[in-house]
């Protein structure tokens, strides 16, 4: 590691989702120099993968893309993508972050985002960015509005045919690229590492991974997105338009036996949103939501729920016990009716699981901040200073501190930026 690989910033923002981008923009607008560290190949977090957002049904990428572009073009913000944070140490009030940038096998300084490499690549791989429903190439720009618009080569699937290297007009493809380690210094840190959905492939009762027409809610977001895999909602097994669709709430959350005892908070609202969008795109479909309680906690959320009921979406108060494959690609849901009592079965063409939500990252062994028992980053003063961690100079924003919707994530990011700015000013004055 040489001196050129050392960089100094006022704030290091870890996580380039909507919370991290908002915190970075608020700090950068005040004149602070900000580094945004993102482990993915693009910034944007989960929000850039969503279709529309509750309760306004605004287009998600119409809100996220301008923020991503503002961060990318801001003179005070530097983006580092495809990066892993190894350690953060603190000496004399300065943080030193050791980072590894994974190889993209494409020189980002040379890549002009022309996609010639992508067009000639002969390898097709299921595209996780589209919920696995469509294919991408082994070298590609991660998704249409990714930032940076630079190709990334997937070494696991590349067969080294050399076509991308030959066609590239700027000689950007570099099969021999190695990981780069560098050190970044900052006077404060904002942790905005978000959340992940639980993976229940090893728990058979919900059929995830085993029954093709059982999908998770992020996959449904892609089916509903205007730039999604099919431009319409089709069930995965046979491409048929589903006539009956069920949403299963608390599929693994509020359930200690599944490892997630807490409420994942935004699932009720996104299931209602998806059900409303579905009833628009498939007006004849029967749409049912199996729920334990509806938690419509935010401004205008209760009205949103009432609107869904008025649109004919059926709400069944029930705890789903098992999901099994039935004939002709249908899915059988066994549930306990919590109003009438008794165990009942119903069949649907497509089932969407509102899975539990877990932290996107664990700071243990990397940076000295503590977590709650649920493993989300601990807010030491959740009521008075919700963005403070137990390490002075390190702040937390968005779903990194617990499941949170976009409105709350953005508000909290603004607060984290203000707290970080105050901290930086106080440190400069002392
Ligand atoms: C199916 C579904 C639909 C939803 N619909 C809505 C909706 O309509 N309206 C609404 O208000 N909310 C909705 N939400 C919730 C919304 O996704 C969250 O509120 C929002 O994404 C939180 O933003 P965030 O930046 O905190 O986290 P994230 O979006 O998770 O972003 C975190 C970022 O940090 C990165 N990261 C993680 N760890 C590291 C690390 N160690 N180093 C570097 N980078 C790291 C991740 O790669 C990611 O880019 C929905 C959620 C789901 C699952």
Can you give the pLDDT at residue 205? 86
- Taking the C-alpha atoms of residue 340 and residue 276, their distance in angstroms, rounded to an integer, is 26
Which protein residue has the closest C-alpha to ligand 1 atom 7? 53
- Long-range contacts, 424-427 (Cβ 8 Å, 24+): 424/10, 424/11, 424/32, 424/187, 424/188, 427/93, 427/187, 427/393
Ligand 1 nearest-atom number relative to CA 197: 53
Residues of the chain scoring pLDDT < 70: 1-6
361 CA distance to ligand 1 centroid (A)?
12
Give ranges for CATH 3.30.70.20 in the chain: 103-178
With contact defined as beta carbons under 8 Å apart, do 12 and 184 qualify? yes
pLDDT, tens digit (0-9, with 9 covering 90-100), for 56-105: 999 999 999 999 999 999 999 999 999 999 999 999 889 999 999 999 99
Pocket of ligand 1, candidates 23, 36, 45: which has the most ligand atoms within 8 Å of its Cβ, to mutate?
Answer: 45
**398 and 414 Cβ atoms separated by less than 8 Å:** no
Per-residue pLDDT at 323:
96
**Distance, CA 172 to ligand 1 centroid (Å)?**
31
CATH 3.50.50.60 correct for 3-101+180-194+360-429: yes
Report residue 208 as tokens: 């995830």
Instruction: Note the pLDDT tens digit of each residue in 402-413.
Output: 999 999 999 999
Return the best residue to mutate from 19, 58, 266 for the ligand 1 pocket (most ligand atoms within 8 A of CB): 266
Which residues does ligand 1 sit against, CB inside 6 Å?
Answer: 14-20, 37-40, 45-47, 50, 53-54, 85, 192-195, 197, 217-218, 221, 266, 270, 273, 360-361, 398-400, 404-407, 409
Which three-class secondary structure state does DSSP give residue 285? coil
Residues 6+ apart with CB under 8 A from 335: 290, 316, 318, 319, 320, 321, 343, 344, 345, 346
Which residues, at least 6 apart from 101, have a Cβ–Cβ distance to it below 8 Å? 80, 82, 83, 179, 180, 181, 182
Residue 242: closest CA among 278, 206, 289, 280: 278
What is the Å distance from ligand 1's center to 268 Cα? 16
* Ligand 1 atom nearest to 398, measured from its CA: 26
103-178: CATH topology is Alpha-Beta Plaits (3.30.70)
Give residue 50 CA to ligand 1 midpoint distance, Å: 10
Close Cβ partners of 190 (under 8 Å, ≥ 6 residues apart): 11, 12, 13, 14, 20, 23, 24, 27, 394, 395, 396, 397, 413, 416, 417, 420
Is the CB of residue 196 less than 8 Å from the CB of residue 400? no
Domain 198-357 has CATH 3.50.50.60: yes
**Could you give the CA distance from residue 201 to residue 405 in angstroms, rounded to a whole number?**
25
Measure CA of the first residue to CA of the last residue in the chain; give whole Å.
32
What's the Cα-to-Cα distance from 199 to each of 196, 253, 356, 357, rounded to whole Å? 9, 12, 9, 9
Distance from Cα 63 to the centre of ligand 1, integer Å: 14
Which is the closest atom of ligand 1 to the Cα of 46?
29
pLDDT tens, position by position, 343-400: 999 999 999 999 999 999 999 999 999 999 999 999 999 999 999 999 999 999 999 9
Mean pLDDT score across all residues of the chain: 95
Residues of the chain with CATH 3.50.50.60: 3-101+180-194+360-429, 198-357
Asked whether the whole model's pTM tops 0.85, one would answer yes
In this predicted structure, what is the pLDDT of residue 4? Answer: 41
Residue 6: its pLDDT value, please? 55
The span from the CA of 11 to the CA of 189, in Å, is 5
Asked if residues 191 and 185 have their Cβ atoms less than 8 Å apart, the reply is no
155 Cα to the center of ligand 1, angstroms: 26
Residues above pLDDT 70, as percent of the chain: 99
For residue 221, the surrounding DSSP H or E stretch is helix 217-224
């Amino acid at each position: 590691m040489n001196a050129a690989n050392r960089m100094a910033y006022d704030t290091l923002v870890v996580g380039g989702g909507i919370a991290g981008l908002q915190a970075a923009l608020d700090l950068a607008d005040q004149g602070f120099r900000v580094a945004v560290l993102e482990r993915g190949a693009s910034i944007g977090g989960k929000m850039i993968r969503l279709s529309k957002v509750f309760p306004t049904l605004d287009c998600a990428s119409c809100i996220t893309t301008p923020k991503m572009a503002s961060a990318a073009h801001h003179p005070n913000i530097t983006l580092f993508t495809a990066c892993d944070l190894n350690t953060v140490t603190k000496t004399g009030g300065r943080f030193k972050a050791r980072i590894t940038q994974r190889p993209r096998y494409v020189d980002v300084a040379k890549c002009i985002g022309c996609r010639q490499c992508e067009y000639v690549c002969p390898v097709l791989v299921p595209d996780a960015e589209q919920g696995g429903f469509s294919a991408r190439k082994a070298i590609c720009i991660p998704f249409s509005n990714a930032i940076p618009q630079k190709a990334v080569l997937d070494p696991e699937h590349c067969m080294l045919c050399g076509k991308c290297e030959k066609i590239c007009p700027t000689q950007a493809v570099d099969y021999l690229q190695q990981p780069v380690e560098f050190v970044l210094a900052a006077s404060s840190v904002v942790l905005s590492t978000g959340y992940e959905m639980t993976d229940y492939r090893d728990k058979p009762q919900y059929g995830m991974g085993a029954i093709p027409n059982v999908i998770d809610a992020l996959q449904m977001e892609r089916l509903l997105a205007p730039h999604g895999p099919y431009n319409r909602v089709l069930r995965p097994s046979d491409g048929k338009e589903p006539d009956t669709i069920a949403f299963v709430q608390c599929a693994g959350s509020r359930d200690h036996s599944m490892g997630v005892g807490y409420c994942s908070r935004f699932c009720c609202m996104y299931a209602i949103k998806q059900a409303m969008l579905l009833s628009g795109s498939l007006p004849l479909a029967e749409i049912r939501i199996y729920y334990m309680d509806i938690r419509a906690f935010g401004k205008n959320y209760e009205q949103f729920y009432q609107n869904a009921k008025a649109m004919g979406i059926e709400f069944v108060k029930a705890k789903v016990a098992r999901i099994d494959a039935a004939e002709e690609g249908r899915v059988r849901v066994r549930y306990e009716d919590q109003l009438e009592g008794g165990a009942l079965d119903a069949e649907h063409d497509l089932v969407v699981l509102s899975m539990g939500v877990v932290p996107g990252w664990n700071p243990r062994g990397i940076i000295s901040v503590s977590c709650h028992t649920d493993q989300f980053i601990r807010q030491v003063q959740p009521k008075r200073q919700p963005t403070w961690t137990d390490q002075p100079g390190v702040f937390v924003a968005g779903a990194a501190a617990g499941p949170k919707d976009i409105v709350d994530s953005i508000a909290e990011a603004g607060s984290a930026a203000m707290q970080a700015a105050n901290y930086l000013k106080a440190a400069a004055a002392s």
